[in-house]
Amino acid sequence: MVGHITYLSDDEMASKFGRQLRHGRLNYTFGVEFEIESYLSHQADKFSDYFDANTYLRITKALDYFDPAAAHGGNLSLALEPATASFLVVSFTTDWRFSPERSREIIKALLDNRRNVTYAEIDAPHGHDAFLLDDARYHGLVAAYFGRVGAESGA
């Protein structure tokens, strides 16, 4: 459930659920009382059907272990030095799962290496989930970028 919360944003949860109650009043029990609890426990049930719990734990640990700069003394610029590709980096302002701050670290490392890089910070209310949703600015940007790649490669 904590994981799921990080996919959403504060504003998104507030507008969707706020403090709405499941049964219209507080019962002072440890059961589901708020709509947000009901939603999260429903998502948790779905998750436990989709994923083997141990696999999910292992994936979570793998994410924790992932540090692209670790082999270079924590220096991301050194880690990205061998890269020759052009980069498009997009972040969403309300994403606290992978915040714009992290994307800016990538940008700095690419700039240090004088790589072709474009960075867009999209003001979207949906948190991390925004990248799965139909955001016109995000889609327009990706379409324009691929259009450019296509034109340059003569496709």
Distance, CA of 132 to CA of 103 (rounded, Å): 18
CB < 8 Å & 24+ apart, contacts of 148-153? 149/86
Q: Nearest distance from residue 95's CB to other proteins, in Å?
A: 14
Torsion sign over Cα 118, 142, 97, 95: positive
Tell me: does residue 121 bind other proteins (CB under 8 A). Answer: yes
The token pair that represents 130 in the structure block: 């925004």
Question: Which position among 21, 72, 108, 125 is part of the footprint of other proteins (CB under 8 A)?
Answer: 108
Q: Nearest distance from residue 87's CB to other proteins, in Å?
A: 9
Tell me: does residue 75 bind other proteins (CB under 8 A). Answer: no
Residue pair 92/122 in contact (Cβ under 8 Å)? The answer is yes
How many residues of this chain bind other proteins (CB under 8 A)? Answer: 23
Contact positions toward other proteins, by CB under 8 A?
88, 104, 107-108, 111-112, 114, 116-123, 137, 140-141, 144-145, 147-148, 152
